[in-house]
């Protein structure tokens, strides 16, 4: 968010952060609402994604706990996400 604030301004960064946070809150109530992330399938950990604007919220579930592992700007090269 610091990078976005520098490049696009604090108001834009705050708007993006607000949208991502709202989507993460939705995810808490709908943990299976995201699609499986095929670019991370090779890890065999069941990573999912929820798209929030230009961003992918990358997460996985272990029992009833949601672990968010990355918030990825989908305008980047996908290889940067495929750990």
What average pLDDT does this structure show over 20-40? 95
Of residues 32, 30, 63, the one with CA closest to residue 48: 32
State if pTM tops 0.85. Answer: no
Confidence of residue 24 (pLDDT cuts 50, 70, 90): very high
- What per-residue confidence (pLDDT) applies to 9? 87
Sequence-distant (≥ 6) Cβ neighbours of residue 49 within 8 angstroms? 34, 35, 36, 37, 56, 57, 58, 59
Q: Average pLDDT of the chain?
A: 90
Within 10 A of 17 (CB to CB), how many other CB atoms are there? 14
Report pLDDT digits (tens) over 48-83.
Answer: 999 999 999 999 999 989 999 999 888 877 777 655
Write down all domains in the chain, each with its CATH number in brackets. Answer: 2-80 (3.30.2310.20)
57 vs 14: CA distance, rounded Å: 17
The two tokens of residue 52 are: 């929030």
What average pLDDT does this structure show over 39-45? 93
């Amino acid at each position: 968010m610091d990078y976005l604030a520098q490049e696009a301004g604090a108001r834009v960064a705050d708007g993006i952060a607000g949208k991502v946070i709202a989507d993460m809150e939705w995810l808490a109530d709908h943990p299976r609402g995201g699609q499986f992330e095929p670019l991370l399938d090779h890890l065999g950990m069941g990573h999912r994604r929820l798209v929030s604007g230009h961003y992918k919220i990358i997460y996985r579930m272990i029992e009833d706990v949601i672990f968010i592992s990355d918030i990825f700007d989908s305008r980047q090269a996908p290889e940067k996400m495929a750990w």
